[in-house]
A and B are shown apart, each in its own frame.
Chain A
Amino acid sequence: MITHDVDLAIIGAGPAGMAAAISAKEKGLENILLLERAEYPGGLLHQCIHNGFGLHYFKEDLTGPEYAERFTTQLNEMDLRLSLNTLVTHLNPDRSIVAINPEWGEFEVLPKSVVLAMGCREKSRFAVGIPGSRPAGIFTAGLAQKLVNVDGYMPGEEFVILGSGDIGMIMARRLHLEGANVKAVVEIMPRVGGLVRNEVQCLHDFDIPLLLEHTITEIFGNHRVEGVRIAGVDKDGKVMKETEKDVPCDCLLLSVGLIPENELSIEAGIELDERIGGPIVDEYLQTNIDGIFAAGNVLQVWDLVDNVTLDGVKAGTNAARFAAGELKKQPNEIEVIPGENIRTITPHKIVGSEDVEFALRVQNPIQNAELRIGEKTKKFRVLSPTEVVTVTIKPSEMEACRESGKIEVSCHERKE
């Protein structure tokens, strides 16, 4: 069995993994190995042929493949080692990795540090428990996106889309442009699950019906989907039977959420944040295992690829600093406590004495919001659970917290 001794192994060459590799190399790490399961780097960017990528990071409006290309070009120029068609099958607590690919067979990687960049996967219908029969014609939105944009095939003619995640809304537009009949996007919440800009640009601009506070209560069809039953829900999310209506369609797409892919992390003994589904990390994005970092959607599902890239930069940089022994930890850790109206927040703890960038989602939409992080407050016109907010705090602003060992983050309505 081949063994690779490397300074840094990166699992996944999507936007997070590529950014991590480039940043680590720029920081002076030489021996880096990227392990990617697909036949090309870039992760899901390849199938995202729509634009809107890179507005923050590059200040340009790029398509997914264009955004990926910026990084793949750099990987090539910097001579970074990329092993494609490679599935990592084991990650051990000592950071050793077992992987398999056509060229090396089953092989071992012994890295000094690791960046987890495995991304996320889509929830299937069972993860949300839609009852009904099990015919052909039910796809996750991402799979449909791959079929249409990469493989060049239509998965149906008449669509209903359950869930208004970004991929679902983007696919609604895509399918409409391909000549299909998108009968409805059905969302159980009173607002869309994805970005507002996608609601406008993908649904409203194309007159695609959006049914808020509705859900699908049954799927019909024996061999192939023949229709779905759509019903309204009340304030508590309970189905209102009297509003049920059967809608014929031959295809149901699901855009009902994404789950960070942490099976390898669990195997290695990395602690996870149950709510987010990603590893518990400090501000360096380091997990509870020294030298193992997490970046991008494996850590938390971001709305924008730009944030994923920034995560990768941070993890790659810190992996290089770790190798150089530069990652300093203070004797007292500060635990981050999610308080009122905070659904998720990273990092989970603060171990050093540098600037800390928090990324959080609120529980409920709020106008005239005031975010309190320890002593510091920051004002927002509006905060929505569908969008991640990032806030940077200086070490001087956390002095008081160092003694208590805790910093509470909460979000309130401003009283003025």
Chain B
Amino acid sequence: MSEMLIETQVAVIGGGITGAALIRELSKYKVDACLLEKEGGCGFGVTKVCQGLLHGGISHLTSRTVKYHQDMPFKEYLLQPFLLKENLQNLGREEYFSLAHTLNEEIERPGRLVLAEDKEDMEMIALIKDASEDLGMRGISLLDRKGIEEMEPRVNPGFIGGLFDANEAVVLPTAWAIAFAENAEQNGAHIYKDTEVLDIDEKKDHYLIRTTNGMFKAEYVVNAAGLYADDVAKMVDAADFEITGWKAQQLVIENQDYTSRVLCGTPKPQRGRLVIPTTHNSLIVAHTFHPMTHKADRSTTKEGVTELLTWLHEFLPSISDKHLISAFSGFLTFNTKNPNDHLLESPKRGFITAAVSAPGLGPAPALAREIVRMLADQGLECTTRSDFNPYRYKAPRIIDLPAWEKNEKIEAEPKYGHMVCRCESVSEQEIRDAVRWGARTLDEIKYKTLAGFGRCQGGFCTSRVIKIMAEELKVSPLEITKNGRGSYILTSETKSVPEKGPKEVSL
């Protein structure tokens, strides 16, 4: 069987936040690059189920605290030099704010409130505050009980104080991965979705990549396969590491003014308790720690949900379980070779592995630049493109516009006034726009427009969205999927189900 062969200079494997940021970075140069993503859209692997925190000033101090083993004085321990991922995170995090303008994607800076239960906790956060001062951080302040009450009146009165970090920011990670990829595409990069890499053949001066969607011939390969980075490295015999980690169950709760800031407890080992207000009016409650059994396991358990609800009540006693919207499992991954840090290496000429250790979201833009630098070092000619357009078109959310602007838009195109998703107020035309700008799956529509994100979880709008997508794409509704191959939604037209023999009723 002769397969399609696509030649490219750089093939990026994996369209998570790292791969997506990288393909956009590459599109700034006169480089022929393509992205190979196994899912139906970008950002639907680990990126989708991460918490969306960019991790503010003190976050690396709090995560170091969790791993403290008393083998050196605490403060000295905290003030050790930055790891690669922490360095990239400090650079990348602030970059998101300027990217928010060019990529037209949402970002918020709610700040993070570290809550203290007792005196011991108060001492701990005072030490962290102290270390942050030594590092010259700004926007960090210690609060007493009254300070917390003024900031977040619905927080459990049992907390006696806290540390506030104004730097903490949140994004909707999948929406950002989509944004990076779309802007890259606008600038000439190629995004291949539903394209799973099966094996890689190392040739003298190039790599042959066999996928579920044809063959690719690339001079350079970047392995940004996230959870599967070890499997991809294995394909070129360069896997002296494994990707493993924790399965982290999380909840989504409707945020009825419960908190507008990220809440977390004083850091203690094996405790990742966080309440995170998202950019779209919900709270993420994170997360449980369960050893990862296998990589495809995104299941949640009853025990996990109960545990998270219990914590949530510890932070915010007035919250009602009725506002639970969804539960999901994410992963806190790390590579076994360098468990505390990113693994960024080139085991072979022309092959780079970027196996991130959590968190990967904040560092992504800076990591992308670092990878391009490595590629250039290996001989990739990186000439800046004069026609690079950093601006990504995204139709505005109609509901967020002022009335006059809404009405101007609706007058020009009445479909902007036809609200299809009731919970998030998304119009018919916004869905059409999203399809015209590349969305092909229900999940992509969800992350681009927020249709189906709300409290009814698509109960009302799914059938409408399918119909609109099919119309725009000029295909049968039967061809619309949730997230690419295998995730079909409808099976047949009614009145066409074949006659079957007698039905089995044994159970």
Cα(A155)–Cα(B411), bound, Å: 36
Whether B507 contacts A152 by the Cβ 8 Å rule is: no
> Pick the contact of B490 from A89, A154, A180, A207 — CB < 8 Å?
A154
Q: How far is the CB of A34 from chain B (nearest CB, A)?
A: 17
A157 CB within 8 Å of chain B = yes
B203 CB within 8 Å of chain A = no
Closest chain A residue, CB of each to CB of B301:
A131
- Binding-face segment, A55-63, A222-230, A290-298: A222-230
A180 with B497: in contact, given A121-B460, A122-B459, A126-B325 (CB under 8 Å)?
Answer: yes
**Complex interface: chain A residues within 8 A of B456 (CB):** 121-122, 124
Interface residues on chain A, size class: 35 or more
Whether B497 contacts A124 by the Cβ 8 Å rule is: no
Cα(A263)–Cα(B455), bound, Å: 10
Whether A211 contacts B507 by the Cβ 8 Å rule is: yes
| B interface list, Cβ under 8 A from A | 252, 256, 296-302, 304-305, 320, 322, 324-328, 398-399, 403-404, 406-407, 410-411, 414-419, 422, 425, 455-460, 462-463, 466-467, 477-478, 481-500, 503-505, 507
Cα(A277)–Cα(B492), bound, Å: 37
Whether A105 contacts B492 by the Cβ 8 Å rule is: no
> Pick the contact of A87 from B416, B419, B459 — CB < 8 Å?
B419
Whether A131 contacts B300 by the Cβ 8 Å rule is: yes
Cα(A211)–Cα(B506), bound, Å: 12
Q: How far is the CB of B477 from chain A (nearest CB, A)?
A: 6
A209 CB within 8 Å of chain B = yes
> Pick the contact of A157 from B297, B478, B497 — CB < 8 Å?
B497
Within 140-193 of A, Cβ neighbours of B (below 8 Å) are at: 140, 142-143, 146-148, 150-157, 178-181, 183-184
Q: A90-128 interface mask toward B, CB cutoff 8 Å, 1 = contact, 0 = none? A: 000000000011111110000000000000011011110
**Complex interface: chain B residues within 8 A of A140 (CB):** 459
> Pick the contact of A224 from B252, B300, B488, B499 — CB < 8 Å?
B488
**Complex interface: chain B residues within 8 A of A135 (CB):** 482, 487
Identify which of B411, B467, B491 gathers the most chain A CB atoms within 10 Å of its CB. B491
> Pick the contact of B494 from A153, A156, A184, A207 — CB < 8 Å?
A153
Whether A153 contacts B478 by the Cβ 8 Å rule is: yes
**Complex interface: chain A residues within 8 A of B300 (CB):** 131-132
Cα(A266)–Cα(B254), bound, Å: 13
**Complex interface: chain A residues within 8 A of B419 (CB):** 37, 85, 87, 100
Cα(A309)–Cα(B410), bound, Å: 35
Closest chain A residue, CB of each to CB of B251:
A126
Whether B507 contacts A136 by the Cβ 8 Å rule is: no
A250 CB within 8 Å of chain B = yes
Q: How far is the CB of B488 from chain A (nearest CB, A)?
A: 6
Q: How far is the CB of A37 from chain B (nearest CB, A)?
A: 6
Closest chain B residue, CB of each to CB of A86:
B419
> Pick the contact of B298 from A121, A134, A150, A207 — CB < 8 Å?
A134
A218 CB within 8 Å of chain B = yes
11 pairs of residues in contact across A and B, judged by CB atoms under 8 Å: A87-B419, A101-B417, A104-B417, A127-B322, A140-B459, A154-B492, A154-B496, A155-B489, A178-B494, A207-B503, A224-B486
A184 with B489: in contact, given A103-B417, A143-B462, A179-B497 (CB under 8 Å)?
Answer: no
Whether B326 contacts A179 by the Cβ 8 Å rule is: no
**Complex interface: chain A residues within 8 A of B459 (CB):** 121-122, 124, 140, 142-143
> Pick the contact of A101 from B296, B418, B425 — CB < 8 Å?
B418
A155 with B490: in contact, given A103-B414, A126-B457 (CB under 8 Å)?
Answer: yes
Cα(A131)–Cα(B307), bound, Å: 13
A154 with B505: in contact, given A106-B407, A129-B302, A131-B299 (CB under 8 Å)?
Answer: no
Cα(A277)–Cα(B457), bound, Å: 19
Q: How far is the CB of A92 from chain B (nearest CB, A)?
A: 15
> Pick the contact of A156 from B301, B403, B487, B491 — CB < 8 Å?
B491
Q: How far is the CB of B108 from chain A (nearest CB, A)?
A: 21
Whether A102 contacts B328 by the Cβ 8 Å rule is: no
Whether A154 contacts B507 by the Cβ 8 Å rule is: no
Known contacts A126-B457, A154-B497; can you find 8 more A-B pairs with CB under 8 A?
A: A85-B419, A101-B417, A121-B456, A148-B494, A181-B504, A222-B486, A250-B491, A277-B322
**Complex interface: chain A residues within 8 A of B478 (CB):** 153
Whether A102 contacts B418 by the Cβ 8 Å rule is: yes
Closest chain B residue, CB of each to CB of A182:
B503
**Complex interface: chain B residues within 8 A of A127 (CB):** 322, 324-325
**Complex interface: chain A residues within 8 A of B328 (CB):** 134
Cα(A247)–Cα(B486), bound, Å: 20
Cα(A85)–Cα(B325), bound, Å: 26
**Complex interface: chain B residues within 8 A of A224 (CB):** 486-488
A245 CB within 8 Å of chain B = yes
**Complex interface: chain A residues within 8 A of B507 (CB):** 183-184, 209, 211, 230, 245, 247
Identify which of B399, B403, B415 gathers the most chain A CB atoms within 10 Å of its CB. B403
**Complex interface: chain B residues within 8 A of A266 (CB):** 256
Q: How far is the CB of A44 from chain B (nearest CB, A)?
A: 10
